[in-house]
Amino acid sequence: MGTGYNCFDTLSHTLNGRVRGTQRANRLRLKRTLNRVGLENYANEWWHFTLRDEPYPTTFFDVPIRRASLR
């Protein structure tokens, strides 16, 4: 993909011109595929997508996570 996940360099921008070949093709494939199912890419992070028709756009959910649920 050209960078690791959560790399905050401009190289992480989805359409950064320095990313070429297979890495660029993989980014574009990911973007196209997720766009088709209703997710929109955040242009500054190739891995970051948001549901286009978010049903609760102004609501933040605080969900407790228990260790047992990770098994």
Into how many domains does the chain fold? 1
Domain span at residue 39 reads 1-52
Joined together, the tokens standing for residue 14 give: 């989805």
Q: Are the C-beta atoms of residues 52 and 40 closer than 8 Å to each other?
A: yes
Could you tell me if residue 1 is inside a domain?
Answer: yes
Q: For residue 10, which of 45, 38, 50, 61 has the smallest C-alpha distance?
A: 45
Is residue 54 part of the annotated active site? The answer reads: no
* Backbone φ, ψ for residue 51 (5° rounding): -65, 125
Per-residue pLDDT tens listing for the chain (71 residues): 999 888 889 999 999 999 999 999 999 999 999 999 999 999 999 999 999 999 998 999 888 888 777 76
Question: Would you call 40 helix, strand, or coil by DSSP?
Answer: strand
Query: What pTM, to 2 d.p., does this model score?
Result: 0.77
Is residue 61 in some structural domain? no
Q: List the catalytic residue out of 45, 47, 48, 49.
A: 45
Distance CA 18, CA 53 (A): 32
